[in-house]
Amino acid sequence: MGESLILLNKTQIYSTGANGDSKLYLNIQANILDPVRGHNYKEWTYPTEQLSGATSSTGKNTWPEIIQPCQQQMANTCKGKQGCGLIVGVAGLGPAMSSYRLTGFYGKNKLKLDTPIKDSQSSVKYEDHYMHYFWFAISDVAKDPSATFDYQVSVATTADFNPDLYVSLMSGSYPTTADYDLASAMLGADSIRISSWLPLWAERGWDPAAGVVVVVGVKIKTEDVPYTLLLSSNEQVVARTVRRLDVGDSLPGEAPAVAAVNGVRAVPAE
């Protein structure tokens, strides 16, 4: 079924003032295409407070709720069944009316760390260009409040083409050339860095502690423009000390002796 994600964005839509809080529920329903056992949606197992496979409730009316269904549980529930679906429930927790936007993301468009991708299952045509869309979730701080993160999204192509990058954060919306949070529109290759040190979090009052859904848009002139998109993490790069050496300088250092071919330990030359 592929990896997927459900995002509940608590956005004030119909009213003014503080928004009410909301809670997100999820159940996996098997046999939804079975004409005998599963076609009747009235008999499906809808999530409730007492009966739900997964829930998300941060207790903050400005924080998003995010559920990424367990792949192993989905495989166990859906194996050998006639179709499988995700049933999502949202409960308003008050005290004000709860307003929200609900977005689902399909796994085929998910960016995975250090895995180059060359095409998207989600393509949108605009007036004079196309946008290919991808997504990934940042959960470092949600798992460990003391953690930091530093991700980089990069796109490259041949010299004859010029794709650009647009990114939306938190909302789950598809970025466009007119509506985005971060962008890189340089000639040739482009790269966008998304880290816990970005001033953007404080400027917009966002907190990545509940997780961040990142939607990446690759702008291309025509739909057949070749490109390679890559998600990487600078947190995983081993720190190295760089020192300038001028001609005639010497740098002290030590290296362990190596074993000779015959198994006798080598002795450094005098």
Long-range contacts of the stretch 71-80 (C-beta < 8 A, 24+):
71/1, 71/3, 73/28, 74/1, 74/28, 75/1, 77/28, 77/30, 78/1, 78/28, 78/30
Q: Hey, what CATH class is 109-236 in?
A: mainly beta
Q: Rounded to two decimals, what is the model's pTM?
A: 0.79
How far, in Å, are 105, 114, 147, 167 from residue 57 at the CA level? 19, 31, 21, 26
**What are the residue boundaries of the structural domains of the chain, listed by start?**
5-105, 109-236
Residue 228 has pLDDT above 70, yes or no: yes
**14: left (phi > 0), else alpha (psi -120 to 50), else beta?**
alpha
**pLDDT tens, position by position, 13-39:** 766 778 889 999 999 999 999 888 777
Q: How confident is the model at residue 120 (pLDDT cuts 50, 70, 90)?
A: confident
Average pLDDT over residues 84-106: 90
Does the structure show a pLDDT above 60 at 98?
yes
Return the pLDDT at 253.
61
Q: What is the pLDDT of residues 240-260, one digit of tens each?
A: 555 666 676 776 665 454 444
| Cα distance between residue 97 and residue 118, in whole Å | 43
pLDDT at residue 122 in the model = 80
User: What confidence tens digit (pLDDT) does each residue in 129-146 have?
Assistant: 999 999 999 999 988 999
